[in-house]
């Protein structure tokens, strides 16, 4: 029998997510399904933590012995100063989304990049030696760009703010062999960038809430391409819809969410994440 939320005992371990707002987080559904499916006696709880309360929250986490937690907006950068150790890539990206509490020491990681690679792999996309087009140059984009950069042939970045795209370009070129090109959102080269890409990834907030969409036309896309969108509200963004219509392979933001959660679960427990159970839980939640 699996452990449900009602089956907590003195041995139940506590995990969670901190953010503000936190009401709409899907992580508890994903992680509690994973704990139940693997028979781990643990619960995963959402905590709404205001920016001004972050330091107190971390003290509370240490005092209560919370075993591990995820970090979401607006704390992914601010949390770093309260950690005892930080994984090298997370440090370079400057953003943490997963913390392990190991005997009172807090270790920070970022699983966004690994989650994206896992999602692409699941869909049959090989990143090795490929041309990748990335929309965005914020925290999530940086994490994804770093994980693509050690495999890909080229990374092309399109971002609203050119200075941020150029900064990411410099950081990638300093550390990796990969070719990096950047343009702004109003550039006439966007069609060429889309055409040259094997894999197109929207890691920006464009498409969220169905508002501003990435400037891609269906006729620029083709069946051999893979299109990943990290936005999951709506699940089928306009970018994914036109990619599907063009015959490309699409990967939605829920896959990405489950896979970055699966990477967190594996860091916390050392066990293989039950990805199918995690997917079921999230699909049930969004269909309610």
Positions touching ligand ATR (CB under 6 A) are 136-141, 159-161, 164, 185, 204-206, 212
As a residue count, the chain comes to: 288
| Residue keyed to tokens 């036309």 | 217
CB 228 within 8 A of CB 251: yes
Strand partners for 183: 158
If phi > 0 it is left, if psi is from -120 to 50 it is alpha, else beta; for residue 210 that is left
d(CA 44, CA 265): 11
| CB-nearer residue toward ligand ATR: 76 or 130 | 76
| CB-nearer residue toward ligand ATR: 2 or 138 | 138
Tell me how far, at minimum, the Cβ of 2 lies from ligand ATR, in Å: 33
Catalytic residue among 51, 67, 76, 236: 76
The contacts of residue 60 (CB under 8 Å, 6+ apart) are: none
Tell me how far, at minimum, the Cβ of 142 lies from ligand ATR, in Å: 8
Tell me how far, at minimum, the Cβ of 168 lies from ligand ATR, in Å: 9
| CB-nearer residue toward ligand ATR: 66 or 157 | 157
Tell me how far, at minimum, the Cβ of 141 lies from ligand ATR, in Å: 6
The contacts of residue 286 (CB under 8 Å, 6+ apart) are: 26, 235, 254
| CB-nearer residue toward ligand ATR: 137 or 282 | 137
d(CA 32, CA 53): 26
Q: Is 76 a catalytic residue?
A: yes
Tell me how far, at minimum, the Cβ of 179 lies from ligand ATR, in Å: 20
Give DSSP secondary structure letters for 8-23. Answer: --TT-EEEEEEESS-T
Task: State which residue has the least CB distance to ligand ATR.
Answer: 138
| CB-nearer residue toward ligand ATR: 13 or 87 | 87
Which active-site residues does the annotation give? 76
């Amino acid at each position: 029998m699996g452990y449900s939320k009602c089956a907590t005992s003195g041995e139940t371990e506590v995990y969670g997510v901190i953010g503000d707002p936190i009401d709409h987080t899907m992580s508890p559904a994903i992680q509690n399904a994973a704990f139940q499916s693997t028979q781990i006696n643990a619960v995963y709880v959402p905590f709404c933590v205001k920016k001004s309360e972050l330091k107190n929250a971390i003290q509370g986490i240490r005092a209560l012995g919370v075993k591990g937690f995820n970090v979401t907006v607006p704390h992914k950068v601010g949390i770093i100063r309260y950690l005892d150790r930080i994984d090298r890539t997370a440090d370079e990206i400057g953003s943490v989304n997963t913390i392990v509490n190991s005997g009172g020491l807090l270790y920070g990681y970022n699983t966004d990049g690994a989650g994206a690679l896992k999602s692409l792999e699941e869909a049959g996309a090989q990143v090795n030696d490929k041309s990748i087009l990335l929309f965005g140059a914020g925290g999530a984009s940086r994490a994804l760009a770093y994980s693509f950069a050690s495999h890909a042939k080229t990374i092309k970045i399109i971002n609203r703010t050119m200075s941020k795209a150029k900064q990411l370009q410099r950081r990638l070129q300093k550390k990796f062999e990969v070719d990096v090109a950047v343009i702004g959102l109003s550039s006439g080269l966007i069609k060429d960038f889309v055409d040259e890409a094997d894999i197109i990834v929207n890691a920006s907030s464009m498409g969220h809430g169905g508002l501003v969409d990435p400037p891609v036309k269906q006729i620029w896309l083709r069946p051999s391409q893979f299109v990943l969108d990290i936005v999951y509200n709506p699940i089928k963004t306009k970018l994914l819809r036109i990619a599907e219509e063009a015959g490309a392979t699409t990967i939605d933001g829920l896959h990405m969410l489950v896979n970055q959660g699966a990477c967190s679960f594996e860091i916390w427990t050392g066990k293989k994440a039950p990805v199918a159970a995690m997917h079921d839980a999230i699909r049930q939640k969004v269909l309610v």
